[in-house]
Amino acid sequence: MRIKDTAAVRLTELGVEVRRGVSLADETSLGIGGTTDELLLRQYETIPDVMRLLADEHIPHRFLGGGTNVLIADGELPWVILHLPVAHPGMRVEGNAAYVDGSADLGGMVTFCAKYDLGGMEGLIGVPGSVGGALRMNAGAYGTQIGPHVREVELYRAATGKIETLCGTDIRFDYRHTSFAPEDVMLRVKLELPSKPYKEILAGIKVCNEKRRSSQPLNQKSAGCIFKNPQGGSAGKMIDELGLKGHRVGDAMVSNRHANFFVNTGHATYSDMLKLIGEVRDRVRDAYGMELENEVIVWRN
C-alpha cells in the first residue's frame, strides 16, 4: 500500500520516517513477504498522534517487530508497516533492574545484562528477534521465559490510544501467549533479574548455544518453530516420527535438523509455506488426533 504524499508529509512532521516500497522479504527471517510502505517511528511520544492520523486517513497498518516469527503474504500488501528503528536502542541497569527499549535485540539484551552480573535469561540467548516481540509472545527456551522477569512495560495501548505503563502483575504471560492486544506497541520494559557472576552466566549461555546449534537449523531461513507444542507433547517429535523431515512444497521444506522448523531453501513463496503448514497439520491430525496451533503469526493480504 502506498501512502498519499499529503499524509506522508504530516507523518514526517510527527518525526516518522516514511520508506517507500519496502520488500518485507528483506525484513523477515523467513525471507518471504510482499511490498508496502514502511513507517519508522523514531519519536515514541508522537505515536498516539501517528495512530490517530492513520485512523483519520483510513490507512490500514500492522506493527512489525524483529520479523522472526511471522509469515507474510506476497505481492503488494494492503497495509503499511510500522516499525521501531533499531540503531541505538536504550539499555541501562540500576541494581537488579534492567531498562530496555522494545526495539533492542533480545540476545544483545541478555549479554548486556550479563556484563552487569545480571542473569536468569541465559536460555533466551539464541532466540532471534526484538525485546518487544519477545514480550508480546512471551518468548522462551531452555526453561527460561521472559514473562516472569517483567516488572513494568511502557507501551502504546490501542484500547486507550495512549502511551501507558503496565505493571508486570497486570499482564498475563502464558506459554507463547500474553494478554497484550495485537495492536499494542511495546516501547520499553523494566526487568528484574537475579545477580549472578558474569563467568557463570557466560557458561550458561555457552551450553544453550551448543544445544541450539546441535538441534536447530540456525544457518537457514526460518521463523523458528512453526507450531506451538501441544500440552505434554512435542510438535517437532511428532512431525519427525511421521517421516516428514525434508518434505517440501516448492522451496518450503520441513528442516532435516528440527522437524518443527520449516525453512525457505531458496525462493519459497507465501503459498508454498502455507501449503506446507497445512499438509503437516493434516498429517499430524490424522496420525495423532491432535490439532497443532501455529506459533508463527500469519499475515494474509
Around Cβ 89, how many Cβ atoms within 10 Å? Answer: 20
By the criterion CB under 6 A, which residues form the site for ligand EPU?
Answer: 141-142, 215, 224-225, 228-229, 234, 236-237, 240, 258-260, 295
Q: Tell me how far, at minimum, the Cβ of 161 lies from ligand EPU, in Å.
A: 32
173 burial class (0-12, 13-18, 19+ CB within 10 angstroms)? Answer: buried
Q: Tell me how far, at minimum, the Cβ of 228 lies from ligand EPU, in Å.
A: 5
Cβ nearer to ligand EPU, comparing 228 with 248: 228
Cβ nearer to ligand EPU, comparing 190 with 281: 281
Cβ nearer to ligand EPU, comparing 30 with 50: 30
Q: Tell me how far, at minimum, the Cβ of 262 lies from ligand EPU, in Å.
A: 11
CB 236 within 8 Å of CB 217: no
Cβ-Cβ contacts under 8 Å for 203 (sequence gap 6 or more): none
Cβ nearer to ligand EPU, comparing 164 with 240: 240
Q: Which residue is at the shortest CB distance from ligand EPU?
A: 224
Q: Tell me how far, at minimum, the Cβ of 51 lies from ligand EPU, in Å.
A: 29
| Rounded CA separation 258/237 (Å) | 9
Is the dihedral angle over the CA atoms 242, 246, 247, 252 positive or is it negative?
positive
Cβ nearer to ligand EPU, comparing 54 with 225: 225
CB 112 within 8 Å of CB 130: no
